[in-house]
Amino acid sequence: MDICFLSYLNPFDIKSWSGTLYHMTAFLAKQNTVEWIGDNVVSQSYAYRSKVEYYPEFYAQLYGSILSERINRYNFDVVIVRDYFLGAYLDVSIPIIYIGDTTFRLFKDNMSLPSKEFEETADEIERKMIENADSVIFSSNWAKESAVNDYSCKKEKTHVVEFGANIPALSEYEIDIRTDACNLVYIGKEWQRKGGVKVLDVYRLLKQEEIRCTLTIIGSTPEYKLEVDNDLIIIPHLDKSKKEDLDKLGQILRKSHFLILPTKFEPFGIVFCEASAYGVPSIAADVGGVSQPVREGKNGFLLPPLATAEDYAEKIKTVFSDKESYLKLRASSRHEYETRLNWDVWSEKVNKILEDTVENYKKKNG
């Protein structure tokens, strides 16, 4: 199948969207031909902006016109749209697939909205994009329900397919790990939003109760100076596109007992897939779409959004104190990765959706 992949970010760059676009297109390309379109449309329109501040949402109709003409010149079988402002006004003679992890209605409270005009425009573009798509694929039921309830999306054209871990498939992981000390790991760039302060408090509480533990912080630096602590490791930046950094991440996860992420908002959370790949259960906040990758009691536990550091520390103590149950949790975490949270499973499900969508489109349009 010849796929037109519509995105303003380069999907062949492993750093785009934390590697998610790269893995999407790489796994689709195993059975299809994938061509990226949209690389220069946004940048070109910037030169002709009519507003001082530039937001691509205000140019969605222009993008639709330009991209429709380009796409209709070629013999693609289907177009996959990643960015709603690129696909809302497409007028093409092939089926349109919209892929995402959230909707504007869900996301808007976690962004700085420049104006009421922007909010209304973006919300309408989301509605148009969902309406214009022949099939819509979200990474969580949370996002799917918003599409159905907030944007009147037809249930029959809406699908849920979990994303995968943005790391190479691996066979080196440990289930029967040593439990003489509890090794915690936090991974996240946005220290405040991802709950970094609470993670530090959890670590300190466990220490105060004389529980042997370590904490590795990856991707962030605490916003205040910390006392010297040999059990606290801070890695401000780790680039998975570099082999040495990817190996380092693997070494850390292989020795970790829990991924802890009391995040305030998360549409999905690729990091939960990556932890599961190493058999590491997650302790996370039940917000956004987190309950999709993290299944209660299978590859982790979910706590209420307002759960305290004491609540997290108590959950870790309870789970970790029963070694037999904890090791079973590690095994089931790895099983969740093998059966759900990897890109092979994602591409198998998405390819089936593509095939069915194209077939239904041909039946409908002749």
Residues 27 and 160 in one domain: yes
Q: What is the DSSP letter of 366?
A: -
- What is residue 50's predicted lDDT score, i.e. its pLDDT? 57
Residues 331 and 354 in one domain: no
Q: Nearest-CA neighbor of 142 among 270, 277, 267? A: 267
**What confidence category does residue 41 fall into, taking pLDDT thresholds of 50, 70 and 90?**
confident
**Structural domain count, the chain:** 2
User: Taking 90 as the threshold, does the pLDDT of residue 344 lie above it?
Assistant: yes
Report if residue 151 sits inside a domain. Answer: yes
Average pLDDT on 97-120 reads 93
Report if residue 174 sits inside a domain. Answer: no
Report if residue 58 sits inside a domain. Answer: yes
Structure tokens at 41: 């449309």
Report if residue 169 sits inside a domain. Answer: no
Handedness of CA 309, 315, 317, 320 (dihedral sign): negative
State the virtual CA torsion across 125, 38, 56, 23 in degrees, nearest 10: 80
Structure tokens at 199: 């993670």
The predicted-structure confidence for 51-67, as pLDDT tens digits, reads as follows 557 788 999 999 999 99
Residue reference for tokens 């007992």: 257
Q: Looking at beta carbons, which pairs linking 55-61 to residues 24 or more positions away fall under 8 Å?
A: 55/114, 55/118, 56/8, 56/83, 56/85, 57/85, 57/118, 57/121, 57/122, 57/125, 58/118, 58/121, 59/85, 60/84, 60/85, 60/86, 60/88, 60/89, 60/121, 60/125, 60/128, 61/89
Give me the domain span that covers residue 45.
2-164+343-365
Residues 204 and 312 in one domain: yes
User: Taking 90 as the threshold, does the pLDDT of residue 45 lie above it?
Assistant: no
Structure tokens at 212: 């042997």
Query: What percent of the chain is modeled with pLDDT above 70?
Result: 97
Structure tokens at 34: 């994938």
User: Taking 90 as the threshold, does the pLDDT of residue 349 lie above it?
Assistant: yes
Handedness of CA 170, 102, 329, 248 (dihedral sign): positive
Residues 308 and 265 in one domain: yes
Could you tell me the CATH number of the domain that includes residue 253?
3.40.50.2000
Arithmetic mean of pLDDT over the chain: 94
Residues 187 and 335 in one domain: yes
- What is residue 46's predicted lDDT score, i.e. its pLDDT? 62
C-alpha distances out from residue 181 to 215, 218, 268, 322, Å: 11, 19, 29, 13
The predicted-structure confidence for 2-31, as pLDDT tens digits, reads as follows 999 999 999 999 988 889 999 999 999 999
**Secondary structure (H, E, C), 30-79:** CCCEEEEECCCHHHHHHCCCCCCCCCHHHHHHHHHHHHHHHHHCCCCCEE
Q: Are 287 and 263 in contact (CB under 8 A)?
A: yes
pTM passes above 0.85: yes
The predicted-structure confidence for 285-343, as pLDDT tens digits, reads as follows 999 999 999 999 999 999 999 999 999 999 999 999 999 999 999 999 999 999 999 99
- What is residue 48's predicted lDDT score, i.e. its pLDDT? 60
